Amino acid sequence: MVTVIVRSVSDEAIQTCFLAPGLLRFARNDEFLAVTAKQGNESAMTFDLDIKNTVRTIPDYPKPGILFRDITTLLADARAFRRAVDELVHPWAGSKIDKVAGIEARGFILGGAVAHQLSAGFVPIRKKGKLPHKTVSMSYALEYGTDEMEMHVDAVQPGERVILVDDLIATGGTAEGAVKLLRQIGATVVAACFIIDLPDLGGAAKLRALDVPVRALIAFEGH
């Protein structure tokens, strides 16, 4: 695959990869932007793959002032769902990943699909009290207060390579707790993947400070 760096109008470096004859993938800082295709003699046409447009925003849910980014509309769109999963796994296609850990609950849906795509096992990270076997637990920071998450103590073997998946990273409290939980039982956390990053809340930066590479497909400004 050939990667070419071009400059956008705003002087950002845009990486262009030739995926297949007539098929181009555009990325900025390894973040997926778009895929374009030439069909017959038509000029390059952008696929209707704007993942951002498939996310529904619900103001004031679950409480006033929150813009809830609802991915159920993305999941219901076959092409967007497939594209999102393909883009999440893209950097690890062909590399050895033992497990994908999904955070309850939307991380289960995405994590299952990602695990299937990578031929890896799937591990659920659940809210306290939901798992039937012996667990390890970790408390994590919420906006107000703390909560606890758990996973089965034998879900990951020491040294296994794990990718963490959730739908969205905001303050990073949840993902940070999950990384600590995985490390507690000896996992190597290869990366954390999200459809959505809310960069103003600093969660991705928090994970990177823990030496966890972060992959997010799209970002929304603000809360």
Q: Tell me which stretch binds ligand AMP (CB under 6 A): 31-39, 48-56, 81-89, 173-181.
A: 173-181
Token output for 113:
């699909």
Active site annotation includes 143? yes
Applying CB under 6 A, which part among 48-56, 120-128, 153-161, 163-171 lies near ligand AMP?
A: 163-171
- Cα gap 79→73, rounded to integer Å: 11
Considering only 61-69, 127-135, 153-161, 183-191, which stretch makes contact with ligand AMP by CB under 6 A? 61-69
Q: Which of 106, 120, 124, 189 binds ligand AMP (CB under 6 A)?
A: 106
Give yes or no for residue 66 binding ligand AMP (CB under 6 A): yes
* End-to-end CA, the chain: 37
Task: Output the smallest distance, CB 173 to ligand AMP, in A.
Answer: 4
Tell which residue, 147, 191, 209, 196, has the closest CA to residue 173: 147
d(C-alpha 223, C-alpha 220), whole Å: 8
For the chain, helix, strand, coil in percent to 5 are 25, 40, 35
Query: Is there a contact between 156 and 186 (Cβ–Cβ < 8 Å)?
Result: yes
Give the residue, chosen from 89, 100, 155, 168, that forms a contact with ligand AMP under the rule CB under 6 A. Answer: 168
Q: Which residues are catalytic?
A: 106, 143
List of residues contacting ligand AMP (CB under 6 A): 66-69, 103, 106, 166-175, 203
